[in-house]
Amino acid sequence: MKVRILGASGGIGGRHLRTTAFLVDHDILIDAGTGVGDLTIAELAQIDHVFVTHSHLDHITSIPFMVDAVGDMRDRPLTVHATEATLDVLRSHIFNGQVWPDFSEIPSKERPFLCFETLFLGQPVTLGDRRFTALPANHIVPAVGYLIDSGKASLAFSGDTGPCPEFWQVVNGIENLRYLIIETAFTNREHKLATVSKHLCPSMLKTELGRLERDAEIFITHLKPGQIETTLAEIEQGLGQFNPRMLQNDKVFEF
C-alpha cells in the first residue's frame, strides 16, 4: 500500500501549500482538499472512493470539481464515505442544485456520477486487502480520524481535532501501528483560539502525545500558513523526544 500526500496544510498561500488530501494507491482519497487539484484528469478518473473526516471546506473542496471533471469518463459512481452528519451537510449545502449540481441524480438516479455511503465509528470498510476505520475525533463539527491498515502495518490520522482521549484509547490498541499523522493548527500564543475551535497547539500536542503508548513515526499536519516556522519551533522545543516531522506534499508512505 502507498499513501501519497497531496496536501497537508491548514490553508493556502503558496505553490507548496495545499489543504488536506491523501491518495491511497491510485483509487482512494482520504479527504479531498485543494491538493487534489494537482492530479491529472487520468489520475482523477481512477479515484473510486473518498473517505471524508468532516464537512469543513478545506477537506471537501475538490469533491464537486472532481465529479464534474471526470464523472462522464467513469463506468461507476464516485463513492463518498462519511458519517451521516457529514453526508447531511454535503447533500444539503454542496450538492443541492444551488451551490453545485446534485450529481447523486445526474445524469440519472439509476446511473449517477456520485453516491454516498454512511460510515460508522469503529466499523472497518474493506476494499481489497485495505481496511479503513473511522477513529474518534473532537472537533467543532462532527468529525473522525482514520486508521489505514494494509494488513502488514497501519497509519493513524487524527483528522482535525482537539484533545481526544478516545482517539488514544483506540490507537494504543493498534498492534501494527507504524505511522501517526496528527494536526497542530495553532501556535501556543493562540492556545485560547485552539481550544475554542477544537484544534491543537504545541503545548496541547505535548499532552496528547503523552497518551501514546506505541512506537510510531510522527508527522505534523494542518499547520497554518504564516505560522509554520513558529509552530515547528515550539514543537521542537517541547516535543523533541518524539522526533515529530512536518508532513509535506509528495511524501509517500509505503506499508
Confidence of residue 134 (pLDDT cuts 50, 70, 90): very high
Quote the cell numbers at residue 238. 517541547
Q: What are the two backbone dihedrals, phi and then psi, of residue 24, each rounded to the nearest 5 degrees? A: -95, 120
The total number of structural domains that make up the chain: 1
- At 12-59, the pLDDT tens digits run 998 889 999 999 999 999 999 999 999 999 999 999 999 999 999 999
Q: What string of DSSP letters covers 147-172?
A: EEE-SS-EEEE--S-S--HHHHHHHT
Quote the cell numbers at residue 66. 472532481
Burial of 92 (0-12, 13-18, 19+ CB in 10 A): exposed
Mean pLDDT, rounded, of the chain: 97
Quote the cell numbers at residue 225. 500558513
In Å, what is the CA distance from 143 to each residue of 51, 101, 134, 158, 166? 12, 25, 9, 10, 13
Q: What string of DSSP letters covers 75-110?
A: SSPEEEEE-HHHHHHIIIIISSSSSS--TTSSS-SS
Characterise 138 by phi-psi region: left (phi > 0), alpha (psi -120 to 50), beta (else): beta
- At 183-219, the pLDDT tens digits run 999 999 999 999 999 999 999 999 999 999 999 999 9
Contact 58, 6 (CB under 8 A): no
Q: Is the preceding omega at residue 142 within 30 degrees of 0, hence cis?
A: no
- What is the extent of the structural domain holding 155? 2-254
Q: What is the pTM of this model?
A: 0.97
Read off the CATH number of the domain in which 170 is found: 3.60.15.10
